[in-house]
């Protein structure tokens, strides 16, 4: 698969946020080598980047996505206003879904307009573009347990097809109310990458990727100790790739379709023969 | 008149003109809306200027508005083998798949390309949230979902993609796109990238979105709902009518056409639920769609507008059209026929644009009687004949997500 | 600063601060005659809808943000409080 001709994206920024691993700096050692994360857990990230009206209205899902998007862009040194983006989320804002369904049963005429407009799956992407003044397109995908992999492939394809850097953001939040047992997700988990089509001084790692027939049995599992840190969050399937990114090397297989997988080979950037 | 006009001013956005793409053939396509199942029903209603809107008979609580409801879904459960995915949205998907020989066309494509080489890319806004709402209405005394509504898959957006994937027997790349009202327009862009990158040889694209209480009362809370049938671009317009629709197309590298010529996508970066006042995002998306297609504004015969009949959208969109296109281009919103099908609107209106090409028909603005003076000569009330078989379909969504798709009768290499 | 808030204006200011999550604003500090929207408190049309909703829940007064009188009604805390008072049933 990852022959020299395999399409390759270059990682220029990485970020990660979970309550006990709040930031890539905090996460990288733990994900690479195990060990104890920082004591205590944060509830949700700050939202300093947002303009005041949007900051007042940002639900947890938006705060989380904006945090990891901004951190990845800062790490890359690229201007967020110039980046196309791909957002992946399994369930968008579960607290708002719970609210809308509940108010619909009791007092539908008293539905909150703010909560309703935050209920769209692309709310985080929309807030992000407002915050950064970005007119480049964004894509939002929601693919149940394949959300992380499908979003990553979409970002890889945009990098390859349009030859421009792309921001990839994946996130899910905690479920609540009667929805919780069927739309299962615990805690907050967000992760983001800035991916570029060519190697540069900013390149941290390179990702050679390929789609091939295969089943989800081939999917790379997360390290058991790490899995516990994000257990139950719907975006936990991102973990094996971020472990490989933390180590700086590895081959990660992610379940894509019913009978297809995405292979990603992580390695240090190599200077091409050309 | 200048041949090419500047759409995007310098200094607003590091604008880079996209390269032309190789056109893709629309090998088969079908659509179902409040006008009825299949292409024939849409065409007949468009020609007869018969609206599919009716007074709201969908919500339990009263809400004075008109809706574009697809008849018969309540009495049409999914076949037993697909019972896991049974809900209104997937019933509409299933109804739509049965029309216009679409299932046969996909079976044929599956045998030609193999089931893993056909991508499945579907847009929706709320997908099967209607099933979640139903579960909240029927909670058990200990506040749990009733037993028949506990399948996790019908309480998440990918309910749509996963159901159709099984219904069509496709095993490769499959995505549910959720960018609100631009969702099922963006799948054409995604299909082009997927095929160009070699991830698939063909793609089934589409969109399905159904009526649900949270959306009707949500739009009501934003005071965007009209109490009368919506009247796009009318001076007296008072807001939108919500509708539902489902449709699918097979996109391939070769065929007889019609052709997907190009697409443009952008973000407003302005407000979650109001359009950019100068329509900046819309202008970027139009310019990109023209650039990818190798077209000029003067080449465009018809534009199916977003035209929700909200005060703000129509004002901004009319101004953009008047600025960018010659008087010979026709433009209209068909939401007076179908209502706003939200996540399915991009596909529904792409399909109406394809009908415009196939039947040389420009639908007018149903329900408009006096156009807003902001409208240019492009926006027409009456149906007319299509002069140039090259069309655009525009979709703009909450979160400032814009998408414009270009189709044509000719391949234009 | 204009004349001090009345008790009804203070109650309404508290409702507004909670309804639109004005984290850094103390209700008692809102100038009753300053504009609520635009440069004033920086509120926009969605906030107007949210405030109207909260008022209708609390006072059984129906406000539509697209009301033609909207500009006058939402001009300031004082104008809004006066309107709510004038519309109260009974």
Are B67 and B58 contacting, i.e. CB atoms less than 8 angstroms apart?
yes
Please tell me what DSSP assigns to residue B183. Answer: H
Residue A110, chain C, CB below 8 Å: the answer is yes
- Provide the pLDDT confidence category of residue B258 given band limits of 50, 70 and 90: very high
Q: Considering chain B, what is the average pLDDT of its residues?
A: 95
List chain C residues with CB under 8 Å of A117: 46
Q: How far apart are CA B33 and CA B351, in angstroms?
A: 11
Are A93 and A61 contacting, i.e. CB atoms less than 8 angstroms apart?
yes
Look up residue B331 and give its two tokens: 């433009």
pLDDT tens for residues B58-72? 999 999 999 999 999
Would you write out chain A's pLDDT as a tens digit for each of its 274 residues? 444 468 999 999 999 999 999 999 999 999 998 888 876 777 788 877 888 888 889 999 999 999 999 999 999 999 999 999 999 999 999 999 999 999 999 999 999 999 999 999 999 999 999 999 999 999 999 999 999 999 999 999 999 999 999 999 999 999 999 999 999 999 999 999 999 999 999 999 999 999 999 999 999 999 988 888 888 999 999 999 999 999 999 999 999 999 999 999 999 998 765 4
Interface test with B, best of C19, C43, C49 (most B CBs within 10 A): C49
Residue B153, chain A, CB below 8 Å: the answer is yes
pLDDT of residue B53: 98
- How many CB contacts within 8 angstroms connect chain A with chain B? 223
List chain B residues with CB under 8 Å of A81: 13-14
Are B234 and B376 contacting, i.e. CB atoms less than 8 angstroms apart?
no
Q: How far apart are CA C19 and CA B255, in angstroms?
A: 56
Whether residue B223 and residue C53 make contact (CB cut-off 8 A), yes or no, is: no
List chain A residues with CB under 8 Å of B401: 122, 125-126, 137-138, 140
Residue matched to tokens 């516990």: A228
Whether residue C46 and residue B272 make contact (CB cut-off 8 A), yes or no, is: yes
pLDDT of residue B343: 98
Strand boundaries in A132-259, DSSP class E: 138-141, 166-172, 189-196, 205-213, 250-257
Dihedrals phi, psi of A192, to nearest 5 degrees: -150, 155
Residue B411, Cβ density class (10 Å: 0-12 exposed, 13-18 middle, ≥19 buried): middle
Q: How far apart are CA B200 and CA B330, in angstroms?
A: 35
Q: How far apart are CA B59 and CA B105, in angstroms?
A: 37
Facing residue for B273 by CB, picked from C46, C53, C65: C46
In DSSP terms, which residues pair with A10 in a beta bridge? A196, A206
pLDDT of residue C21: 92
The Cα angle at residue B262 between residues B260 and B266, in degrees rounded to 5: 130
Average pLDDT of the segment spanning B343-350: 98
pLDDT tens for residues C5-60? 999 999 999 999 999 999 889 999 999 999 888 777 888 889 999 999 999 988 88
Interface test with B, best of A53, A89, A100 (most B CBs within 10 A): A100
Q: How far apart are CA C48 and CA C50, in angstroms?
A: 5
Considering Cα of B396, then B211, then B177, then B77, what sign does the dihedral take?
Answer: negative
Look up residue B67 and give its two tokens: 């809706």
Residue B296, chain C, CB below 8 Å: the answer is no
Interface test with B, best of A65, A79, A99, A126 (most B CBs within 10 A): A126
**Which run of H or of E encompasses A132?**
helix A123-132
Residues 6+ apart with CB under 8 A from A3: none
pLDDT tens for residues B76-114? 999 999 999 999 999 999 999 999 999 999 999 999 999
Preceding peptide of B258 cis, ω within 30°: yes
What subunits touch chain C, counting only 3 or more CB pairs under 8 A?
A, B
In DSSP terms, which residues pair with A22 in a beta bridge? A17
pLDDT of residue B14: 56
Q: What is the largest CA-CA distance in chain C?
A: 36
Active site residues of B: 181, 306, 340
Q: Which 3 state secondary structure label does DSSP give A267? A: strand
Q: How far is CA A210 from the centre of its chain?
A: 20
pLDDT tens for residues B41-62? 999 999 999 999 999 999 999 9
ipTM entry? 0.96
Question: Closest-CA residue in chain B for A182?
Answer: B152
Residue B150, chain A, CB below 8 Å: the answer is yes
Are A222 and A239 contacting, i.e. CB atoms less than 8 angstroms apart?
yes
Facing residue for B221 by CB, picked from C44, C45, C49: C49
Q: How far apart are CA A188 and CA A204, in angstroms?
A: 26
Residue C20, chain A, CB below 8 Å: the answer is yes
């Amino acid at each position: 698969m990852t022959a020299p001709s395999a399409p390759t994206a270059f990682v220029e920024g990485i970020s990660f946020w979970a309550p006990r691993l709040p930031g890539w700096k905090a996460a990288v050692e733990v994900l690479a080598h195990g060990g104890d994360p920082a004591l205590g857990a944060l509830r949700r990230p700050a939202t300093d980047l947002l303009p005041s009206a949007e900051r007042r209205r940002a639900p947890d899902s938006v705060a989380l996505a904006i945090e990891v998007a901004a951190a990845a862009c800062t790490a890359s040194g690229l201007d967020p206003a110039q980046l196309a983006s791909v957002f992946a989320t399994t369930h968008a804002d579960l607290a708002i879904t719970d609210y809308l369904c509940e108010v619909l049963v009791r007092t539908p005429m008293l539905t909150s307009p703010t909560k309703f407009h935050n209920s769209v799956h692309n709310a985080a992407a929309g807030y992000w573009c407002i915050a950064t003044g970005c007119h480049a397109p964004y894509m939002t995908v929601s693919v149940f347990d394949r959300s992380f992999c499908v979003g990553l492939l979409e970002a890889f394809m945009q990098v390859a097809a349009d030859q421009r850097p792309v921001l990839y953001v994946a996130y899910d939040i905690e479920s609540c109310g009667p929805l919780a047992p069927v739309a299962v997700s615990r805690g907050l988990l967000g992760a983001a990458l800035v991916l570029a089509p060519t190697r540069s001084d900013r390149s941290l790692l390179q990702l050679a990727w390929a789609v091939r027939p295969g089943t989800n049995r081939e999917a790379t599992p997360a390290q058991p100790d790490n899995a516990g840190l994000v257990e139950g969050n719907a975006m936990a399937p991102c973990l094996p790739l971020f472990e490989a990114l933390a180590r700086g090397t590895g081959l990660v297989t992610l379940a894509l379709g019913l009978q297809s997988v995405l292979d990603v080979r992580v390695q240090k950037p190599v200077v091409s023969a050309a | 008149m200048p041949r090419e006009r500047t759409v995007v001013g310098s200094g607003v956005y590091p604008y880079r003109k996209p390269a032309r793409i190789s056109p893709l053939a629309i090998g088969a396509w079908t659509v179902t809306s409040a006008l009825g199942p299949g292409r024939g029903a849409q065409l007949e209603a468009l020609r007869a200027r018969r609206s599919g809107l009716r007074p709201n008979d969908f919500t339990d609580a009263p809400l004075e508005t008109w809706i574009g409801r697809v008849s018969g879904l309540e009495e049409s459960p999914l076949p037993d083998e697909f019972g896991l995915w049974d809900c209104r949205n997937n019933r509409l998907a299933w109804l739509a798949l049965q029309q216009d020989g679409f299932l046969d066309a996909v079976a044929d494509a599956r045998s030609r390309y193999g089931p893993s080489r056909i991508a499945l890319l579907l847009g929706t806004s709320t997908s099967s949230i209607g099933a979640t709402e139903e579960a909240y209405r029927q909670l058990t005394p200990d506040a749990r979902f009733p037993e028949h509504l506990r399948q996790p898959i019908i309480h998440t957006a990918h309910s749509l993609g996963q159901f159709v994937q099984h219904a069509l027997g496709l095993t490769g790349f499959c995505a549910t796109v959720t960018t609100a009202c631009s969702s099922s327009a963006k799948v054409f862009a995604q299909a082009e990238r997927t095929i160009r990158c070699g991830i698939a040889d063909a793609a089934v694209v589409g969109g399905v979105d159904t009526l649900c209480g949270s959306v009707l009362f949500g739009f009501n809370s934003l005071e965007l709902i009209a109490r009368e049938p919506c009247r796009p671009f009318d001076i007296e317009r008072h807001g939108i009518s919500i509708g539902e629709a489902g449709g699918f197309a097979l996109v391939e590298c070769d065929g007889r056409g019609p052709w997907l010529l190009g697409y443009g996508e952008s973000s407003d970066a302005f407000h979650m639920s109001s359009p950019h006042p100068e329509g900046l995002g819309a202008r970027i998306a139009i310019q990109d769609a023209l650039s990818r297609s190798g077209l000029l504004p003067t080449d465009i015969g018809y534009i199916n507008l977003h035209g929700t009949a909200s005060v703000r959208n129509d004002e901004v969109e009319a101004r953009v059209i008047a600025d960018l296109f010659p008087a010979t281009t026709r433009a209209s919103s068909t939401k007076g026929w179908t209502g706003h099908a939200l996540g399915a609107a991009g596909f529904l209106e792409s399909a109406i644009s394809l009908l415009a090409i196939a039947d040389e028909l420009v639908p007018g603005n149903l329900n408009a009687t006096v156009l807003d003076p902001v409208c240019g000569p492009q926006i027409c009330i009456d149906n007319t004949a299509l002069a140039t078989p090259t069309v655009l379909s525009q979709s703009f969504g909450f979160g400032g997500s814009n998408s414009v798709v270009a189709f044509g009768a000719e391949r234009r290499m | 600063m204009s004349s001090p808030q009345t008790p009804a204006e203070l109650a309404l200011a508290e409702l507004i601060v909670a309804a639109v999550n004005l984290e850094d604003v103390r209700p008692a500090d809102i100038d009753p005659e300053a504009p609520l929207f635009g440069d004033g408190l920086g509120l926009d049309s969605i906030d107007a809808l949210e405030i109207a909703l909260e008022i209708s829940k609390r006072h059984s007064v129906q406000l539509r943000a697209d009301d033609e009188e909207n500009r006058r009604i939402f001009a300031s805390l004082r104008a809004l409080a006066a309107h709510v008072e004038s519309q109260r049933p009974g």
